[in-house]
A and B are shown apart, each in its own frame.
Chain A
Amino acid sequence: MEKKLLRFKLNGLEYEIFINPKTLLVDVIRDHIGFTGTKKGCESGSCGACTVMVEDMAVKSCSVLAMQVEGMNVTTVEGLEKNGKLSPIQEAFLDYGAFQCGFCTPGMLMSATALLKENEGKVLTEEEIREGIEGNICRCTGYNSIIRAIEAVSKGEYKEG
């Protein structure tokens, strides 16, 4: 198949790459560009390990073609910290022990970040947080520590540095 040019921004940097137009976004991020923070956990769009942000929306990067993000801003877990300074949700995950094996964590953080962005200035209820991360499977933590971490950020206990 003829390769096509894809232009998009990943974590604030402009990329131009030639790809097979059938390539999934997750594979462009991981294999073509080399950001391996984003994971793959299934082939069915069910686990959420590959979640990234396209503009401000949480998107499962195994379920979209890379060509669909032409001209857009994509953020992965690597884009959350600024010069080594962690984002509030990353700090909260550390304090609340909201990860164990860590394999779902990048996707979970992106879902959480998108949820918090979407509800900026509002304190999320526990129910809203649970629904916000329903698409992300975590096999280790039982989710409640993740809920507590997101809740703490939503309540403004962690400030952007």
Chain B
Amino acid sequence: MSGEIRELRYSMFKTGVRYTVINHKTRNIDGYAKVTGRAQYTFDIKLPNMLYGKILRSPHPHAKIKNIDYSKALELPGVMAVVTGKDTLGIKQGIWRRYKELCDEQILAVDKVRYIGEPVAAVAAISEEIAEKALDLIEVEYEVLPAVFNPIDAMKKDAPEIHEGVERNINVTRHIEWGDVEEAFAEAEKDGYIREDWFRTSSQHHMCMETRAAVSSYTPDGKLTVWCSTQAPYYMQALLAWVLGLREGDVRVIAQYVGGGFGGKFELDAAMFCSAVLSKKLCRPVKIVFTREEDFIASKRRTPMYYYVRTAMKKDGTFLAREVRVFTNGGAYTGMGATALYLTGFFCSFPYKWRAYRYDGFRVYTNTLPSTAMRGFGAPQAMFCSEQQIEWMCKDLGLDPFEVRRKNAHTECYEVPGQAYIQSCGMTQCIDKIEQWVKSKGDLGPNRAIGISAAGFMSGGIFNWFDTPYSFSSAVVIINHDGTVDLYVGCQEIGQGSNTTMAMICAETLGVRVEDVRVFSGDTGICPPDLGAWGSRQTLMAGNAVKMAAEDAKKQLLEFAYAEMGLNIVYDLDIKDRWVHVIARPERGMKYEDLVKKAIRAKDGQRIVGRGYYTPRRKGMISPAYSYMMQAVDAEVDPETGKITIHEVMTAHDCGQPINPLGLIGQLEGAAAMALGYGYLEDQPMDEGKILNPNLVDYKVIRATDMPKTGMIEIDTYEAEGPYGAKEAGEGLTNPTAAALGNAIFHALGIQLKELPFTPERILKALREKSEKKEAN
């Protein structure tokens, strides 16, 4: 059966330490709640005296708000309040807090709307039905303005101005450069090969199973509690405090179970903001849940990009230089799009060594749904362009695509000039393994082929655009007198298994079992601050904080054990599986529970408290560590209908040492499903800024019957910067798939597809063009 990890070579590592928890298949600790229906999501919360909110949205892509009259809505029995932008402080907020010009979104529009679906008013009523009815009674007078929908038109001189004073609607620009690009291209002109291509990537929606939802409860003592579906409770706490004029400490954000995130839930959204504004006005709890349609039209999406890539290589396949220019459709507001713009530029160089590289990125405002972060964070777009072009260049020159990738791949201890320090790197081994696998498959018959793509990703970002005064991650470990452990973390569980990962790291470090650890997360009222779940950062960053906290607690225990056991100073103590022992004489020791009891007594009855924190410093510009992978997609295309069938996805993957192999398979398979959807199914077509498929009938995602067999070959590396050698595994696996599928189609049918997704229409068009070209020749 598919999905088995085929090669897992270690349970013992370079340090010679045998792990009792790490790298052992472990059941998810939230599983009982999730398989029994006990898990309570924001969607399920009902508080006493609670009201229901609904949001009125703009029908226009660009318009001035002349007047809003909601007097009739207020007359409807059951309606408790209506708020508009005028009832708010009107603060232009954004997650890039450090840069004022990038804080451009008011959430409840004050004088202007910039996309269809933008909130203009919110109602609180005693039922959802009444709130919905009240929306129809609100009269908004608009002055419709000319609108612009794609970045190329939006940059023109005479384009409508979307944000005041923003020239040519250019929201952010990014530049990355190293080496002498001109010189390297000149060398290729003389005796090498240069190729340039334009690509276009599509929109993709996170489509979390739980739509945006929030319950806000403001009380007369000036305190606000918000239950919400978020990836980053601390960000929400800080942002809510800011836009509502409260102190951070007076805002508590709780996100116990979150029905999916994928990059779409770490900005302040209208469910949280509007419910908070309404609750503040009424001093009653207010719940807002987006409908699926609202989620599609008014919660941000993956950034669509226009991509230009020009690549120079020697005739033997040695890479010389690359020049990249990207124009992204930013939509109406900045959101996390500024980070995606940077990362796509960096990851278009990945995972190869370039003598010279230049990237210029432009994020452009348009009158469309804002674009933002989504799993892969700009890298899937980059890989789609880069990995297809490399494949085509190999074909043009008659070179072996495995050999070319191997020749240019990152290696251990490599510096990407001015950008990144690579410590562990299993790229070459990934290429070797996939080459063996592909060759073992032999000839697959007509219209079917295997396409490959390399990729990599960051284990969390180093950047601090949020301007947090706190450590990026922190954790507190408390050991109770019976030996049970309470672990408090600010990192957020959104289904990726972070609670289990943290419990495992804590248990391994302390020398206890996973069931001894109870994890408290998702509540800013009791958990230490942490930047949350994005950029695949938690395993490394929060994992390091947890390890440090557990080591701190363990040290306190062992200090006492040392004294208690009266050991010769040359001996070293450790705890494994609840046994405190002399490392050199494991039989000599005491029970962990007994030690804890004694140590607590020695500490005047205080529980043992360990603290840990982590902030990456001196690790380059991007991330403290990088995952690497090579993926192969076996696909078949019907040349008559353009229909794609995926037979298998095989991935060789270097994520350092895996913490939980069970969770790792889940990440691989889930990423493959999402990325295949990106490759050939998912898109958000628009007409004049109106999304045409805002429902799950017309927005197609991968279903069980579409999903191919999947397999993983784990590559043996150890990342010095990661907890127990671990690196990221959540997001990066989304990166190679669309390109690998494109390369499979290229080898099966001989067509080059430069636009996502690979719909039957696009495939048939490319086939027609190919045969016309053939006839013309």
Give residues in A with beta carbon < 8 Å to B: 30, 35-44, 46-47, 49, 76-78, 80-81, 86, 90, 93-97, 99-106, 109, 126, 129-131, 133-134, 136-148, 151
Contacts and interface: CB of A to CB of B under 8 A. Distances in A.
Contacts of A137: 209, 696, 701, 703
Contact of A144 (B43, B662, B669, B697): B669
Given A49-B209, A99-B34, 11 more contacts: A43-B291, A77-B36, A100-B495, A101-B209, A102-B30, A102-B33, A130-B707, A142-B668, A142-B674, A144-B3, A148-B1
A27 to B, nearest CB: 10
B672 A139 contact: no
Interface string B239-271: 000000000000000000111111000000000
A105 B34 contact: yes
25 contacts: A39-B259, A44-B292, A94-B35, A97-B663, A97-B665, A100-B260, A101-B258, A101-B494, A103-B208, A105-B35, A133-B704, A137-B701, A139-B209, A139-B670, A139-B674, A140-B209, A140-B260, A140-B495, A140-B666, A141-B670, A142-B670, A143-B673, A143-B707, A144-B707, A145-B665
A136 B259 CA distance: 15
Contact of B207 (A44, A130, A139): A139
Given A78-B36, A139-B209, A94 B31 contact: yes
Nearest to A40: B43
Contacts of A49: 209
Interface residues of B, number: 59
Interface of B: 1-3, 27-28, 30-41, 43-44, 207-211, 257-262, 291-293, 494-497, 662-663, 665-666, 668-674, 695-697, 701-705, 707, 709-710
B666 A145 contact: yes
B209 A37 contact: no
A36 B38 CA distance: 8
Contacts of A78: 36-37
Nearest to B711: A144
B729 to A, nearest CB: 13
B705 A131 contact: yes
- Which of B210, B257, B710 has the most A CB atoms < 10 Å from its CB? B210
A96 B27 CA distance: 8
B31 A93 contact: yes
B603 to A, nearest CB: 37
Contacts of A106: 37
A144 to B, nearest CB: 5
A47 B696 contact: yes
Contact of A94 (B27, B494, B703, B707): B27
Given A35-B37, A100-B496, A41 B3 contact: no
Q: Which secondary structure characterizes the binding site on chain A?
A: loop
Contacts of B672: 142
Contacts of B38: 37
A35 B291 CA distance: 20
A134 B37 contact: no
Contacts of A102: 30, 33-35, 39, 257, 259, 495
A121 B689 CA distance: 54
Given A36-B37, A101-B495, A142 B259 contact: no
Contacts of A77: 35-37
B704 A143 contact: yes
Contacts of B36: 37, 77-78, 80-81, 86, 90
A96 B28 CA distance: 10
Contacts of B2: 144
Nearest to A90: B35
A131 B261 CA distance: 27
B208 A139 contact: yes
A130 B704 contact: yes
B37 A139 contact: no
Contacts of A37: 36-38
Contacts of A109: 35
Contacts of B259: 39, 101-103
